[in-house]
Amino acid sequence: MSLLRVGDKAPDFTVQGVLYGETADYSLSAYKGKWLVLFFYPADFTFICPTEVTGFSKMAKEFAAESAEIFGVSVDSLDSHRSWAEELGGIDYPLLSDEEKKLSRAYGVLDEKEGVSLRATFIINPAGEVSYVVISHVNVGRSVEETLRVLKALRTERLCPSEWQPGEATGDLRLKY
């Protein structure tokens, strides 16, 4: 499948993930009506990925305050996620295992040659549509703060200029989700 675009229906999924050492099934459909930040990363136990994974964890309460759930996704196993989360001191959102690479393919972010997910972020609105997508080179970590800023801007349902921050002026056009 090709890369998803803004406005596309986000592909549903059901995969296993690890949260606080426990394994459970996670699906997009279970979060209907909520905002979802779905971020893909290449691999556990690497140099850049822990900065992003722990960055999202440190800001998990701020995302929750925006009625958003966070899922981190890589092609690593559940055991790898469990060990890595423990090594990182705990993660406050599920790490999803995409060992079969179906989820990465469905979202168009699997590097087939390397067999890993690209560094990609999707914000999915309560209607289950992609509202934001960013893919960067695997050598460059994403900004968790920027992801949160964009989520807040999307939630205003208004026009938000570059570098907009909550409380600042917005444009008149109002979008509904």
Q: Hey, which residues are catalytic here?
A: 49
Six-digit token pair at 112? 């087939």
Which tokens go with 140?
A: 């460059």
Both tokens assigned to 101 = 């690479």
Q: How far is the C-alpha of 72 from the C-alpha of 53, rounded, in Å?
A: 7
Angle at 12 between CA 8 and CA 18, to 5 degrees: 125
CB atoms within 10 A of CB 174: 10
DSSP 92-110: SSPEEE-TT-HHHHHTT-E
Amino acid at 6: V
Query: What is the distance between the alpha carbons of residues 53 and 41, in angstroms, rounded to a whole number?
Result: 9
